[in-house]
Amino acid sequence: MLLLRGIITLLTIIVITVLVCIPLFSMAVIALLIPGTPGVHFRRWMEVWLFLWTGFNRWLFRVLGTTTMRIDWPDGHEVSTDQWYLVISNHQSWTDILILQSVLWNRLPPIKFFTKAQLIWVPFIGIGMYVLGFPYLQRATKKQIAKNPELRNADRENIRKACNRFRYYPSTLLNFVEGTRFTTEKHARLRSSHRHLLNVKVGGLSYVIAEMGGTLHRLVDITIAYPGEAPTFWEFLQGKCPHVDIRIDALEIPANITGQPDEREQRRLLSAWIDELWRLKDQRLHDHRSPPARPVDTSGRDTALQT
């Protein structure tokens, strides 16, 4: 039954992806023929296909009972689709992206996220993200930069170009600030100072805030907590993740960060702020994973065996 559900879900998503990409690519060709600001505004209407694709996936997960999303969003009334947002979240699985898109659907503008340049070769999805303006990052190694110094600023330039487009219409940009998915092996190798998270990297956030600090309405901090090990994409589609707990906080970005002209000082302040958010997130994940304490039984019997 689980295998059948996974096959049906995957095939349906593939079909809908193809159907959405056909008109999206056609509009992208037209956008290339429209110069300047009018062309940028035309690109906004291309996002309707991202909105429909995300909404359909959300509906599909509900119909097939893929998972139950238990959401804690105390300040959800403070966001809208008419503002600009920067979203950060812990990252454990590619499933996170589907969850974030579903949870924020029609609450914030459609999500775009930092993605590896290699993903442009993924059929339909790669080109789709490119024409929608997802920031593609090279993530060059020190060895590659030594051979080609121009790579040092390539990611910053890509983020700058993306932010210039996003200024024209309400947008949401997602950044997984850990830089990679959490695994036990990475946690040990990278010597993380947290129990359930990797250390943050604020370079990408710093670039976005430098370009759009005055435009951003809120930073939306999301904590994704799975009941056990994070499911793989395929396990999630099969329904092997019965529920997921999601905490969302919409926070004002401190003015001393958005208004700081010195790049080094801005990054220092930003790093301290995000580190504190990560400390709270790590505690929240630890509390979620820790079993509740047994009630005290003064009779001397084991309460776990009582019914």
Sign of CA dihedral 71, 77, 80, 86: negative
What's the confidence (pLDDT) of residue 304?
A: 35
Q: Is 210 exposed, middle or buried (0-12, 13-18, 19+ CB in 10 A)?
A: buried
- Beta carbons within 10 angstroms of residue 185's beta carbon: 8
Contact residues for 285 (Cβ-Cβ < 8 A; gap 6+): 90, 195, 196, 197, 223, 225
**Span 156-208, pLDDT tens digits:** 888 888 888 888 889 999 999 998 999 999 999 999 999 999 999 998 899 99
Q: Is the pLDDT of residue 12 over 70?
A: yes
pTM of the shown model: 0.88
Q: Which amino acid is at 208?
A: V
Q: Which whole number is the average pLDDT over 12-28?
A: 95
**Residue 24 confidence class, pLDDT cut points 50, 70, 90:** very high
What's the confidence (pLDDT) of residue 292?
A: 60
Cα end-to-end distance, the chain, whole Å:
32
Contact residues for 39 (Cβ-Cβ < 8 A; gap 6+): 31, 32, 33
**Residue 141 confidence class, pLDDT cut points 50, 70, 90:** low
What's the confidence (pLDDT) of residue 62?
A: 94
* Whether 130 contacts 277, CB under 8 Å: no
| Closest C-alpha to 208, from 143, 286, 135, 125 | 135
- Beta carbons within 10 angstroms of residue 114's beta carbon: 22
What's the confidence (pLDDT) of residue 156?
A: 82
Q: Which domains does the chain have, with CATH numbers?
A: 2-290 (3.40.1130)
Lowest mean pLDDT among 99-108, 112-121, 211-220, 237-246: 112-121
Q: Is the pLDDT of residue 268 over 50?
A: yes
**Residue 4 confidence class, pLDDT cut points 50, 70, 90:** very high
Give the distance, in angstroms, between the CA of residue 285 and the centroid of all CA atoms in the same chain. 17
Return the beta strands (E) in 156-242 as ranges.
Answer: 172-175, 216-225
**Span 27-60, pLDDT tens digits:** 999 998 998 878 888 888 899 999 999 999 999 9
**Span 291-305, pLDDT tens digits:** 665 554 444 333 332
* Whether 115 contacts 136, CB under 8 Å: yes
